[in-house]
Amino acid sequence: MRMYLLFTGALILVLQIWIGDWMKLKIVPRLLKNLIKKPMTVRFPNESIPIPEGYRGEHEYDKGKCISCGLCAKVCPNRAIEMVQSENGRKYPVIDIGKCCFCGLCQDVCHTGALKLTKNLVSPIIVDSNKKEKSGM
Amino acid sequence: MSHENVKERELFFGPAHPGSGNFCVKLMVDGEKVLSARADPGYLHRGFEKLMEYRDTMQNAVLSDRICVFEPLAWNLVHAEAVDGLMGVDVPERASYIRVIMAELSRIQSHLIWYGGMSMGIGFDTGFKMAFGYRDYILDIFELITGGRVYPAGYICPGGVRKDMPDTAREKILDVLKRIDEIKMLEKFENPTLLPRLKNVGVLELKDTIRLGATGFVMRASGMRTDVRKDDSYEVYDQLDFDIPIQNDGDAYSRFLVGIREIEESIKIIRQALDELPKGRLKPIKPKLSTKIPEGEIYIRNEVARGEAAMHMVSDGTGSPYRCKIRGPSFLHMIPVLEYLLKGVQIADVPAIYWSLNPCPADMDR
Amino acid sequence: MSKEKALVEKIERKFGVKGKAERKRIWINIRKENMIDLCRYLKELGFEHLSAISVTDFIKRGKYELVYVVWSYHDNIAIIVKSEIEREKPVISSVTEIWKESAQIHERELHELFGVEFEGNADLSELFLENWKESPPFRKDFNWREYVGKKYYYKQDEKEKIYLEAGI
């Protein structure tokens, strides 16, 4: 496929130079360099760019470490966390993902480390029933 | 009723247009000539100045990235400097250098969006794809350092930065800067698609710039030597060595050239700042719900990619500011300057003039 | 600091006001009647760039405070002029003859959001809001909960209760 493109490109170039437009010659070194360069994109979902540490994704909550102080509800700038009464008499946070802006202030303010942000993107799982299952992380 | 006597028609270069963003200009046209223009802002008005009165400083730092969508780190810096000035806090030197590096990376990224948008508005599709391709490398750096590609969630906050730069960031930044150096060739090719659309189009002379309120790169393209980083210096810019690009013609092509040269100057600043970065480790800043800002007021001016940005903050001793006035550069560029430049031009020149002023509807409406 | 001190003394002698000089900033408080003369004098001294006009609403004292910020490219100094007007009928004369179009657009925005009347401004039509019939929205006594409740819906649930009790 690339050889056909190169051939037609070279043909048009030669024709234009023959007609008398010398300025097009400047493109030739650039053309050859672009031919051997890798593209800027990757073929998702077969390959993907790795996500670094510290990315702010979905929440992960450990109920055993929570002490019900309520600071995460007070610090959220969008009022997305609500403290809800449960059966054993204590209150636990409930997060509304639609209002959350994934800023990470609730993770910073939690003293015991019960609320953390993981690296998962909030994205659906891509499945193709003809081939075997792949997850679109 | 006959339609032969109708001379003027009203045309909306409007909010649902693929080349204009969230902003509407009402044009009165006669054939192909524009007789007058009237700007109609307000499609993105969220009331930031009142929202900031109900939140405390760390929550305001997260909110301040959304003042302008294209350059969130630059507006984080404006808010952080205002609160630091009121509280009388001296930021550690390593944090100041990291702030300068992030602000300059944000400036390069914003100029690349401008170049892509301008090419798309004119019809030069190659430029649009190249600009957004190079911008993606910078967004990968932001993801490594701050945790998010577009919105850094208040990374530059009052007191320094939210967490320190990781050790692998330095090689990654140098590697990306080497790739972006190729942008220089865009200027050398004298593209026959780009030049006739931009040369001698939308000429703003020097005697009209101050009266209409233009600041930043628009004044530099008309011949005036001014830059807030040199005149009213902040952070560590007075210890770094860089130049100010000037052009004399005042047309759309001059503004484009000033933008390309500013990218080269920013690359120089980032390399110097990475060499001079002091050693050490910064402690991460946690949000505290009991901080109070002492009484007083302050006026901070900064240079963002689009011009001069300013914030006037009044505090009355509680945790939230009493009044926070935000002055965006696009408020002046898109209403008085645009209405002045669009008189008597052809309809086909309207997108070229509109995009050459680097418009951002978000920081016009706030 | 010497340039700032010299300028402050010149203005204090001519107008009889008190000024405060800091690094690259000068703060001046003046009465409403002498405001236009001071602005003309500053324009002659070289302060050509009007950076911002703003209004602060002091509801306890019953006054609006107007803030004008001008910058000089020659001296690299910003002068911030403040004056007070009544809160119930806010009227002041406009500075559009001095700083032309850049003052006109700032005053148009403040007229819509705070309700200040600028006498002499040619065009004070609506800018951001459309068909707005209530009181100007950025005043401190505008009850935004009432407005949202009437126009959209009333939200009474546990999440909003802590903010309602705190008065936010």
Q: Is the pTM of this model over 0.80?
A: yes
Residue A44, domain member (yes or no): no
B219 touches chain A (CB under 8 A): no
pLDDT value of position B190: 58
Q: Are strands C117-119 and C91-93 parallel, antiparallel or unpaired?
A: parallel
Average pLDDT rounded to a whole number, residues A23-29: 68
Residue A79, domain member (yes or no): yes
C166 touches chain A (CB under 8 A): no
Number of CB pairs < 8 Å for A and B? 51
Q: What tens digit of pLDDT does each residue of A51-70 get?
A: 898 899 888 888 888 888 88
CATH classification at residue A65: 3.30.70.3270
Q: In b/e form, how buried is each residue of B144-162, taking b as 16+ CB within 10 angstroms?
A: bbbbbeebbbbbbbbbbbb
Residue C133, domain member (yes or no): no
Closest chain A CA to residue B287 = A109
Task: Give ∠ CA B155-B158-B159 in degrees, rounded to 5.
Answer: 100
Residue C155, domain member (yes or no): no
Residue C58, domain member (yes or no): yes
The DSSP secondary-structure symbol of B91 reads: P
- With cut-offs at 50, 70 and 90, classify the pLDDT of residue B93: very high
For residues A137 and A75, membership in a common domain is answered with: yes
Quick count: other Cβ atoms within 10 Å of Cβ C82? Answer: 17
Which candidate in A79, A92, A96, A99 is best for mutational testing of the C interface (most C CBs within 10 A)?
A79
Which candidate in C158, C159, C162 is best for mutational testing of the A interface (most A CBs within 10 A)?
C159
Residue A80, domain member (yes or no): yes
Nearest to C113 by CA among C54, C63, C69: C54
For residues A19 and A86, membership in a common domain is answered with: no
CB B192 within 8 A of CB B314: no
Interhelix angle B125-145/B93-122, rounded to 10 degrees, is 160
Neighbours of chain C (3+ CB pairs under 8 A): A, B
Residue A42, domain member (yes or no): no
C155 touches chain A (CB under 8 A): no
The DSSP secondary-structure symbol of B46 reads: -
Contact C102 B54 (CB under 8 A): no
Å between B18 CA and nearest CA of chain C: 22
Average pLDDT rounded to a whole number, residues A71-82: 88
Contact C138 B54 (CB under 8 A): no
Give the position of tokens 């109900």. Answer: B54
* Cα distance between residue B3 and residue B291, in whole Å: 68
Nearest to B45 by CA among B73, B76, B24, B19: B24
Q: Is the pLDDT of residue B80 over 90?
A: yes
* Cα distance between residue B55 and residue B59, in whole Å: 6
* Cα distance between residue A103 and residue A59, in whole Å: 11
Residues 6+ apart with CB under 8 A from B346: B32, B33, B34
For residues A57 and A103, membership in a common domain is answered with: yes
Number of domains chain A contains: 2
Residue C63, domain member (yes or no): yes
Q: What is the residue range of C21's domain?
A: 2-127
Quick count: other Cβ atoms within 10 Å of Cβ B270? Answer: 23
Task: Give ∠ CA B42-B44-B50 in degrees, rounded to 5.
Answer: 90
For residues A15 and A61, membership in a common domain is answered with: no
Contact B189 A26 (CB under 8 A): yes
Nearest to B107 by CA among B282, B246, B228, B197: B228
Q: How far is CA B173 from the centre of its chain?
A: 21
Which candidate in B325, B363, B365 is best for mutational testing of the C interface (most C CBs within 10 A)?
B325
Residue A71, domain member (yes or no): yes
Closest chain C CA to residue B54 = C168
A21 touches chain C (CB under 8 A): no
pLDDT value of position A137: 42
3-state secondary structure chain A: CHHHHHHHHHHHHHHHHHHCCHHHHHHHHHHHHHHHCCCCCCCCCCCCCCCCCCCCCCEEECCCCCCCCCHHHHHCCCCCEEEEECCCCCEEEEECCCCCCCCCHHHHHCCCCCEEECCCCCCCCCCCCCCCCCCCC
Residue A41, domain member (yes or no): no
Closest chain B CA to residue C144 = B50
Contact B62 A102 (CB under 8 A): no
Residue C165, domain member (yes or no): no
CB B364 within 8 A of CB B330: yes
Contact B289 A74 (CB under 8 A): yes
Q: What is the residue range of A25's domain?
A: 2-36
Residue C156, domain member (yes or no): no
Any long-range contacts for C22-25 (C-beta under 8 Å, 24+ apart)?
C24/B232, C24/C76, C24/C77, C24/C78, C25/B299, C25/C77, C25/C78, C25/C80
Residue A118, domain member (yes or no): yes
For residues A22 and A55, membership in a common domain is answered with: no
Tens digit of pLDDT at every position of chain C (168 positions): 788 888 888 888 888 888 888 888 999 999 888 889 899 999 998 899 999 999 999 989 999 999 999 999 988 899 999 999 998 889 999 999 998 888 999 999 999 999 999 988 888 888 888 888 888 999 988 888 888 888 877 766 666 666 666 666
Residue C59, domain member (yes or no): yes
Contact C158 A79 (CB under 8 A): no
For residues A69 and A29, membership in a common domain is answered with: no
- Find which of A29-38, B99-108, C153-162 is predicted with most confidence, using mean pLDDT: B99-108
Interface ipTM > 0.85:
yes
Neighbours of chain B (3+ CB pairs under 8 A): A, C
Q: Is the peptide bond before A52 cis (omega within 30 degrees of 0)?
A: no
* Cα distance between residue B39 and residue B57, in whole Å: 34
Domains of chain B plus CATH, in order, are 47-365 (1.10.645.10)
Closest chain B CA to residue C79 = B299
pLDDT value of position B267: 92
Q: What tens digit of pLDDT does each residue of B133-159 get?
A: 899 999 999 999 998 999 999 899 999
CATH classification at residue C62: 3.30.460.80
Q: Is the pLDDT of residue B79 over 90?
A: yes
Contact B153 A103 (CB under 8 A): yes
- With cut-offs at 50, 70 and 90, classify the pLDDT of residue B315: very high
Q: What percent of chain A has pLDDT over 90?
A: 6
* Cα distance between residue B259 and residue B358, in whole Å: 10
Contact B231 C168 (CB under 8 A): no
* Chain A neighbors of C162, CB-CB under 8 A: 73-74
Q: What tens digit of pLDDT does each residue of B255-311 get?
A: 988 998 899 899 999 999 999 999 999 999 999 888 899 999 999 999 999 999 999
Higher-confidence position of B221 and C150 = B221
Q: Is the pLDDT of residue B97 over 90?
A: yes
Å between C23 CA and nearest CA of chain B: 10
Average pLDDT rounded to a whole number, residues B55-66: 91
Residue A43, domain member (yes or no): no
* Cα distance between residue B12 and residue B27, in whole Å: 6
Number of domains chain C contains: 1
Q: What tens digit of pLDDT does each residue of A90-137 get?
A: 888 988 888 899 999 999 999 898 998 888 886 666 666 776 544 444
Three-class SS state of C93: strand
